[in-house]
Amino acid sequence: MGLTLHIIDAFTAEAFRGNPAAVCVMEGPMPDLRMQEIAAEMNLSETAFVLQGNEGFTLRWFTPKAEVDLCGHATLAAAHALWDIGVITESETAVFHTKSGILTVDRDGEWVNMDFPAEPVESVNAPKELIEALGLIPRYVGRNRMDYLVEVDSEATVRSLQPDFQLLKSLQSRGVIVTSAAEQRGEGASYDFVSRAFFPGIGVNEDPVTGSAHCALAPYWGRRLRSDELTGYQASERGGYVRVQMRGDRVLLSGQAVTVLRGKLAE
């Protein structure tokens, strides 16, 4: 019969926008090598592997080249797939056991709310490779256990950035998040801050919309903009919106999702 795979666009209400993830709802355990091979074949920024257990689901995420510890858009996609195919009802909470602890996901109408750990950054000296790769002098450089976070002078700078991916790959980090305050904020504005995220070291030069990056962006911009509830826009070519709400040492990430494809993997 083959495994059923779902391709779901996350952090968007429109097909072919946001960040696509593949989701494989497994019937039993699968070797790590097989999961990595499937992720490489899917060739998306993340493929999620979900296995039902006694107290929720085991969830793992693979890029085309490596397993990662935390991924927002593929978690959103995994929960969306479980609701979509009726493994759990839309009123049930999806409980995922992951390398970053237990993550819970709830549905609120067309929006999906994910309870994630906050990943605040601490100020660091910028490596020269980072400065050279971005070709600019940052306003701020911080780092958490996964990524560098770089604030730049304007939204226009974020949008026009053309980094040197080979230099970024040489950094000892998962990736680099570049961000600024939104050009227009306040009443009528659709977002408060803008970002882009680059992960060439794990096979993803630019990620379309990165939920886990907002685990760092939420506490950073929450302090800067003095608000616990904000909306971020990730200004990749596909683009997508992430609502964030700080809750102590957790972040509620909210987004929408659209199923674009279901198919069978021949075996």
φ and ψ at residue 125, rounded to 5 degrees? -75, 135
Residue carrying the six token digits 């509830």 = 229
Contacts of 77 (CB under 8 A, 6+ apart): 6, 8, 10, 21, 22, 23, 48, 257
φ and ψ at residue 217, rounded to 5 degrees? -65, -35
Q: Which of 27, 46, 110, 129 is catalytic?
A: 46
d(CA 107, CA 89): 10
Minimal CA–CA distance to 170: which of 133, 136, 204? 133
Q: Are 242 and 211 contacting, i.e. CB atoms less than 8 angstroms apart?
A: yes
d(CA 99, CA 71): 10
d(CA 67, CA 34): 12
Question: What single string gives the DSSP state of each residue in 73-114?
Answer: HHHHHHHHHHHHTTSS-TTSPEEEEETTEEEEEEEETTEEEE
Q: Is 46 in the active site? A: yes
Structure tokens at 158: 């974020």
d(CA 8, CA 21): 5
Residue carrying the six token digits 């950054």 = 121
The amino acid present at 219, given as its one-letter code, is P
Report, as residue numbers or ranges, the catalytic residues: 46
